[in-house]
């Protein structure tokens, strides 16, 4: 048997069913639906984790970018 996304339920893979469900949701609800659930999710995370969380993930992202830039510069110098 393959990976979890390749498991078959009837004649359709789990991945195929998920894709079809996502397409149906998008066609029936539209962009506003996704904007609203994204806004609600962001508000919930903000309330639960606070500004420190965003500061920490921003710092981690900045460190990663600096590392990638440095690696790119080192690669150019070879």
- How many Å from the N-terminal Cα to the C-terminal Cα in the chain? 45
pLDDT band at 6 (very low <50, low <70, confident <90, very high): low
Task: State pLDDT tens for residues 49-74.
Answer: 999 999 999 999 999 999 999 999 99
Torsion sign across C-alpha atoms 34, 39, 45, 51: positive
pLDDT band at 11 (very low <50, low <70, confident <90, very high): confident
pTM of the model: 0.50
pLDDT, residue 1, reads: 47
Instruction: Assess contact for 35 and 44: CB atoms under 8 A.
Output: no
For the chain, what are the domain ranges?
4-76
């Amino acid at each position: 048997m393959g990976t979890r996304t390749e498991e078959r339920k009837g004649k359709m893979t789990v991945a195929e069913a998920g894709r079809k469900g996502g397409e149906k949701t998008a066609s029936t609800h539209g962009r506003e639906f996704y904007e609203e659930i994204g806004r609600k999710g962001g508000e919930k995370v903000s309330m639960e984790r606070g500004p420190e969380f965003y500061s920490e993930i921003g710092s981690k992202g900045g460190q990663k970018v600096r590392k990638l830039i440095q690696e790119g510069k080192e690669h150019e110098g070879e």
